[in-house]
Amino acid sequence: MKSLQKIIMILMVATAVATIRYCSKPTRRNSEIVVGTSADFAPFSFIDNSGTIVGFDIDLIKEIFSRLQTEYHFENMPFETLLTQMQFGSIDVIAAGMSHTPERAEHVLFSTPYIEADPLVIVTLSNNKTINSVNDLSGKNVAVNQGYVADLQLSQKPEINLLRLPSISDAVLALKHGKVQAFVTGGGTIKPLQDALGSEAIRLISIPELQEYTALGISKKSPQLKEKIDMVLQEMQKDGTLTVLKEKWHLT
Protein backbone atom coordinates (compact mmCIF):
# COMPACT_ATOMS: atom_id res chain seq x y z
CA MET A 1 0.00 0.00 0.00
CA LYS A 2 2.82 2.41 0.89
CA SER A 3 4.50 1.64 -2.43
CA LEU A 4 1.26 2.42 -4.24
CA GLN A 5 0.91 5.68 -2.34
CA LYS A 6 4.48 6.61 -3.28
CA ILE A 7 3.77 5.92 -6.95
CA ILE A 8 0.61 8.05 -6.82
CA MET A 9 2.51 10.90 -5.15
CA ILE A 10 5.27 10.73 -7.77
CA LEU A 11 2.71 10.85 -10.59
CA MET A 12 0.94 13.82 -8.96
CA VAL A 13 4.20 15.73 -8.62
CA ALA A 14 5.21 14.92 -12.20
CA THR A 15 1.84 16.14 -13.47
CA ALA A 16 2.14 19.35 -11.47
CA VAL A 17 5.63 19.99 -12.79
CA ALA A 18 4.51 19.41 -16.38
CA THR A 19 1.56 21.77 -15.88
CA ILE A 20 3.79 24.49 -14.48
CA ARG A 21 6.28 23.97 -17.28
CA TYR A 22 3.75 24.31 -20.07
CA CYS A 23 1.61 27.00 -18.45
CA SER A 24 4.40 29.28 -17.25
CA LYS A 25 4.27 32.64 -18.97
CA PRO A 26 6.56 33.24 -21.94
CA THR A 27 9.06 36.07 -21.63
CA ARG A 28 7.59 39.45 -22.60
CA ARG A 29 10.22 41.99 -23.62
CA ASN A 30 8.94 45.53 -23.09
CA SER A 31 6.17 46.27 -25.61
CA GLU A 32 7.09 43.57 -28.13
CA ILE A 33 4.36 41.46 -29.67
CA VAL A 34 4.70 37.86 -28.47
CA VAL A 35 3.94 35.33 -31.20
CA GLY A 36 3.21 31.79 -30.05
CA THR A 37 4.03 28.92 -32.38
CA SER A 38 4.36 25.14 -32.22
CA ALA A 39 7.40 24.12 -34.23
CA ASP A 40 6.37 20.55 -35.04
CA PHE A 41 3.93 21.11 -37.89
CA ALA A 42 5.74 21.39 -41.22
CA PRO A 43 5.50 23.31 -43.46
CA PHE A 44 3.83 25.92 -41.26
CA SER A 45 6.27 25.91 -38.35
CA PHE A 46 9.11 23.47 -37.70
CA ILE A 47 12.75 23.25 -36.70
CA ASP A 48 15.25 22.80 -39.54
CA ASN A 49 18.57 20.94 -39.45
CA SER A 50 20.35 23.98 -38.03
CA GLY A 51 17.96 24.20 -35.08
CA THR A 52 16.17 27.29 -36.44
CA ILE A 53 12.38 27.63 -36.42
CA VAL A 54 11.25 28.05 -40.03
CA GLY A 55 8.10 27.63 -42.08
CA PHE A 56 5.30 29.41 -43.89
CA ASP A 57 3.80 30.95 -40.75
CA ILE A 58 7.24 32.11 -39.62
CA ASP A 59 7.88 33.90 -42.93
CA LEU A 60 4.34 35.29 -42.85
CA ILE A 61 4.81 36.82 -39.40
CA LYS A 62 8.19 38.28 -40.35
CA GLU A 63 6.66 39.98 -43.39
CA ILE A 64 3.60 41.26 -41.52
CA PHE A 65 5.50 42.87 -38.67
CA SER A 66 8.18 44.20 -40.99
CA ARG A 67 5.46 46.09 -42.86
CA LEU A 68 3.88 47.23 -39.60
CA GLN A 69 7.34 48.25 -38.29
CA THR A 70 6.51 46.47 -35.05
CA GLU A 71 8.89 44.53 -32.81
CA TYR A 72 8.00 40.92 -31.99
CA HIS A 73 9.51 37.62 -30.95
CA PHE A 74 8.49 33.97 -31.18
CA GLU A 75 7.76 31.62 -28.30
CA ASN A 76 7.71 27.90 -29.14
CA MET A 77 5.33 25.71 -27.12
CA PRO A 78 3.05 22.66 -27.48
CA PHE A 79 0.10 23.36 -29.77
CA GLU A 80 -2.48 22.44 -27.14
CA THR A 81 -1.21 25.21 -24.80
CA LEU A 82 -1.40 28.08 -27.30
CA LEU A 83 -5.01 29.10 -26.64
CA THR A 84 -4.48 28.83 -22.89
CA GLN A 85 -1.41 31.06 -23.06
CA MET A 86 -3.37 33.59 -25.10
CA GLN A 87 -6.13 33.62 -22.49
CA PHE A 88 -3.45 34.16 -19.82
CA GLY A 89 -2.33 37.22 -21.78
CA SER A 90 1.11 35.68 -22.32
CA ILE A 91 1.00 35.73 -26.13
CA ASP A 92 -0.64 38.14 -28.55
CA VAL A 93 -0.66 36.18 -31.81
CA ILE A 94 -0.79 32.47 -32.68
CA ALA A 95 1.05 31.38 -35.84
CA ALA A 96 0.91 27.59 -35.97
CA GLY A 97 -1.13 26.42 -38.95
CA MET A 98 -4.26 26.96 -36.85
CA SER A 99 -7.63 26.33 -38.43
CA HIS A 100 -10.62 28.59 -37.88
CA THR A 101 -13.31 26.76 -35.92
CA PRO A 102 -16.41 28.12 -34.12
CA GLU A 103 -15.14 26.69 -30.83
CA ARG A 104 -11.80 28.47 -31.09
CA ALA A 105 -13.47 31.68 -32.25
CA GLU A 106 -15.04 31.92 -28.78
CA HIS A 107 -11.56 32.51 -27.34
CA VAL A 108 -9.55 34.13 -30.12
CA LEU A 109 -9.92 36.58 -32.99
CA PHE A 110 -9.02 35.06 -36.35
CA SER A 111 -7.32 36.97 -39.11
CA THR A 112 -8.49 36.80 -42.69
CA PRO A 113 -7.78 33.18 -43.74
CA TYR A 114 -4.63 32.78 -45.81
CA ILE A 115 -5.61 29.24 -46.86
CA GLU A 116 -9.29 28.76 -47.71
CA ALA A 117 -11.39 25.64 -48.25
CA ASP A 118 -8.43 23.27 -47.96
CA PRO A 119 -9.84 19.70 -47.90
CA LEU A 120 -8.55 17.25 -45.33
CA VAL A 121 -6.62 14.34 -46.80
CA ILE A 122 -6.46 10.66 -45.87
CA VAL A 123 -2.90 9.33 -46.15
CA THR A 124 -2.38 5.57 -46.40
CA LEU A 125 0.48 3.38 -47.53
CA SER A 126 0.34 2.62 -51.25
CA ASN A 127 -0.38 -1.09 -50.68
CA ASN A 128 -3.55 -0.30 -48.71
CA LYS A 129 -6.44 -0.43 -51.19
CA THR A 130 -9.23 -0.81 -48.63
CA ILE A 131 -9.51 2.89 -47.75
CA ASN A 132 -10.99 5.12 -50.44
CA SER A 133 -13.22 7.53 -48.50
CA VAL A 134 -13.84 8.82 -44.98
CA ASN A 135 -16.52 6.11 -44.56
CA ASP A 136 -13.85 3.43 -44.96
CA LEU A 137 -12.13 4.70 -41.78
CA SER A 138 -14.84 3.09 -39.66
CA GLY A 139 -13.26 0.55 -37.30
CA LYS A 140 -9.74 1.54 -38.41
CA ASN A 141 -6.88 2.93 -36.35
CA VAL A 142 -6.36 6.45 -37.63
CA ALA A 143 -3.69 8.97 -36.61
CA VAL A 144 -4.39 12.70 -36.25
CA ASN A 145 -2.32 15.52 -34.82
CA GLN A 146 -3.71 16.39 -31.42
CA GLY A 147 -5.75 19.59 -31.36
CA TYR A 148 -5.67 20.19 -35.11
CA VAL A 149 -8.77 20.32 -37.28
CA ALA A 150 -8.59 16.65 -38.33
CA ASP A 151 -8.72 15.71 -34.63
CA LEU A 152 -11.70 18.03 -34.04
CA GLN A 153 -13.58 16.78 -37.10
CA LEU A 154 -12.97 13.05 -36.68
CA SER A 155 -13.65 13.17 -32.94
CA GLN A 156 -17.29 13.49 -33.98
CA LYS A 157 -17.09 10.02 -35.54
CA PRO A 158 -16.90 7.52 -32.64
CA GLU A 159 -16.68 4.58 -35.05
CA ILE A 160 -13.09 5.63 -35.88
CA ASN A 161 -10.30 4.59 -33.50
CA LEU A 162 -8.28 7.80 -33.21
CA LEU A 163 -4.65 7.88 -32.20
CA ARG A 164 -3.86 11.48 -31.23
CA LEU A 165 -0.20 12.27 -31.80
CA PRO A 166 1.76 15.47 -31.14
CA SER A 167 3.56 15.84 -34.47
CA ILE A 168 3.62 14.84 -38.13
CA SER A 169 6.80 12.82 -37.59
CA ASP A 170 5.02 10.73 -34.95
CA ALA A 171 2.17 10.10 -37.40
CA VAL A 172 4.65 9.09 -40.11
CA LEU A 173 6.23 6.52 -37.79
CA ALA A 174 2.83 5.16 -36.72
CA LEU A 175 1.78 4.74 -40.35
CA LYS A 176 5.12 3.28 -41.42
CA HIS A 177 5.14 0.68 -38.64
CA GLY A 178 1.51 -0.34 -39.03
CA LYS A 179 0.19 1.10 -35.77
CA VAL A 180 -2.43 2.94 -37.81
CA GLN A 181 -3.97 2.27 -41.21
CA ALA A 182 -4.30 5.96 -42.09
CA PHE A 183 -3.29 9.48 -41.13
CA VAL A 184 -5.74 12.32 -41.68
CA THR A 185 -4.29 15.80 -42.03
CA GLY A 186 -4.60 19.09 -43.89
CA GLY A 187 -3.58 19.29 -47.52
CA GLY A 188 -0.77 21.68 -46.66
CA THR A 189 1.22 18.96 -44.88
CA ILE A 190 1.41 16.60 -47.88
CA LYS A 191 4.85 17.72 -49.10
CA PRO A 192 6.59 16.88 -45.77
CA LEU A 193 4.86 13.49 -45.79
CA GLN A 194 6.02 12.77 -49.33
CA ASP A 195 9.55 13.78 -48.36
CA ALA A 196 9.47 11.51 -45.30
CA LEU A 197 7.85 8.42 -46.84
CA GLY A 198 8.35 8.90 -50.57
CA SER A 199 5.57 9.95 -52.96
CA GLU A 200 5.36 6.41 -54.38
CA ALA A 201 4.92 4.89 -50.92
CA ILE A 202 1.65 6.64 -50.03
CA ARG A 203 -1.86 7.10 -51.37
CA LEU A 204 -3.77 10.36 -50.92
CA ILE A 205 -7.57 10.48 -50.68
CA SER A 206 -9.18 13.90 -50.48
CA ILE A 207 -12.13 14.45 -48.12
CA PRO A 208 -13.96 17.37 -49.83
CA GLU A 209 -16.73 17.40 -47.23
CA LEU A 210 -14.20 18.13 -44.46
CA GLN A 211 -12.36 21.39 -45.07
CA GLU A 212 -10.22 23.78 -43.06
CA TYR A 213 -9.56 27.50 -43.16
CA THR A 214 -6.14 28.42 -41.85
CA ALA A 215 -5.49 31.79 -40.22
CA LEU A 216 -3.53 33.62 -37.56
CA GLY A 217 -5.04 33.85 -34.08
CA ILE A 218 -5.07 37.23 -32.35
CA SER A 219 -5.90 37.99 -28.73
CA LYS A 220 -9.42 39.32 -28.14
CA LYS A 221 -7.75 42.04 -26.11
CA SER A 222 -6.15 43.37 -29.32
CA PRO A 223 -8.88 44.05 -31.92
CA GLN A 224 -6.81 46.90 -33.38
CA LEU A 225 -3.92 44.51 -33.98
CA LYS A 226 -6.29 42.21 -35.88
CA GLU A 227 -7.35 45.12 -38.10
CA LYS A 228 -3.70 45.93 -38.86
CA ILE A 229 -2.82 42.30 -39.61
CA ASP A 230 -5.86 41.92 -41.89
CA MET A 231 -4.85 45.07 -43.74
CA VAL A 232 -1.35 43.72 -44.35
CA LEU A 233 -2.67 40.30 -45.41
CA GLN A 234 -4.86 42.03 -47.99
CA GLU A 235 -1.83 43.98 -49.25
CA MET A 236 0.20 40.77 -49.46
CA GLN A 237 -2.60 39.09 -51.41
CA LYS A 238 -2.78 41.98 -53.89
CA ASP A 239 0.97 42.35 -54.44
CA GLY A 240 1.58 38.60 -54.81
CA THR A 241 3.66 38.10 -51.67
CA LEU A 242 1.26 35.50 -50.28
CA THR A 243 1.45 33.52 -53.52
CA VAL A 244 5.26 33.61 -53.44
CA LEU A 245 5.33 32.33 -49.85
CA LYS A 246 2.82 29.57 -50.63
CA GLU A 247 4.91 28.43 -53.59
CA LYS A 248 8.06 28.48 -51.45
CA TRP A 249 6.45 26.16 -48.87
CA HIS A 250 4.49 24.03 -51.40
CA LEU A 251 1.08 25.22 -50.25
CA THR A 252 -0.31 25.84 -53.72
How large is the average pLDDT for residues 21-31? Answer: 57
- What single string gives the DSSP state of each residue in 211-240? EEEE--EE-TT-HHHHHHHHHHHHHHHHHT
Averaged confidence pLDDT in the chain: 87
Question: What's the total number of domains in the chain?
Answer: 2
Per-residue confidence (pLDDT) for residue 25, from 0 to 100 = 58
Model confidence at 13: pLDDT above 70: no
Q: Quick one: 236 and 192 in the same domain?
A: no
CATH number at residue 93: 3.40.190.10
Distance of alpha carbon 229 from the chain centroid = 20
Cα gap 175→199, rounded to integer Å: 14
Q: Which of 58-67, 160-169, 186-195, 213-222 has the lowest mean pLDDT?
A: 186-195
Q: Is the pLDDT of residue 237 over 70?
A: yes
Residue 151 maps to a domain = yes
pLDDT band at 17 (very low <50, low <70, confident <90, very high): very low
Count the neighbouring beta carbons within 10 Å of the beta carbon of residue 180.
23
pLDDT, tens digit, 9 for 90 and up, residues 40-67: 998 999 999 999 999 999 999 999 999 9
Q: What angle do CA 167, 178, 78 make, to 5 degrees?
A: 10
Say whether both 83 and 203 belong to one domain: no
- pLDDT over 80 at 174, yes or no: yes
Q: Per-residue DSSP letters for 163-187?
A: EEESSHHHHHHHHHTTS-SEEEEEG
Which residue range(s) make up the domain with 88?
A: 21-114+215-248
Residue 230: CA count within 13 A, CB half-sphere: 13
Cross-strand pairs, 16: none
